[in-house]
Amino acid sequence: MLQLFVRFMIGGSVVAIASVLSRYAPYLSGMLSGFPAVFFVSLIFIYLSARQKAVISYASTAFWGMIGSVLTVAATGIGAMAGWAWPLVIGFGLVIYFVFVAVALIFTSFRQKAELNAEFATGDVNTAS
């Protein structure tokens, strides 16, 4: 429960500060919005609960999420510069993000299946029941 509260406070603080900054320095609010606060907080809690191996796995998959975020920011920027209505801009960004995530999940599942097949072929699978 404490972890949830800490994540909420850090994430909410970043959003609140970015909102206030947008009035006075919009360029700073955009940079602050890109700060990976949730990533760092999650990294700390994952390390504390599961240690190094889980951190490595988390960081490698978080990388894919960050690529999706960059594509989403680019898509919403394109929509905004084109003068689209805000609901369309947000919808376009969400579609781009979810399409990227779907493709990444499919790619990852194929890679994991190939790794499992290779383990079965070499007999390196731990089959303890």
How much is the average pLDDT of 86-103? 94
Higher pLDDT: 35 or 81? It is 81
Does position 119 have pLDDT exceeding 70, yes or no? no
What does the domain layout of the chain look like in residue ranges? 1-50, 51-123
Averaged pLDDT score across all residues of the chain:
82
In the predicted model, what is the mean pLDDT of residues 5-30? 81
pLDDT at 127: 47
Tell me the pLDDT band of 118, cut-offs 50, 70 and 90.
confident
Q: Is the pTM of this model over 0.85?
A: no
Interatomic CA distance for residues 70 and 67, integer angstroms: 5
Question: Helix, strand, or coil here: 102?
Answer: helix
Q: Where are the alpha helices (DSSP H) in 25-85?
A: 26-33, 37-50, 52-81
The mean pLDDT of 72-96, rounded to a whole number, is 96
Tell me the pLDDT band of 128, cut-offs 50, 70 and 90.
very low
How many other C-beta atoms are found inside a 10 Å radius of the C-beta of residue 100? 19
pLDDT at 2: 81
Q: How confident is the model at residue 51 (pLDDT cuts 50, 70, 90)?
A: confident
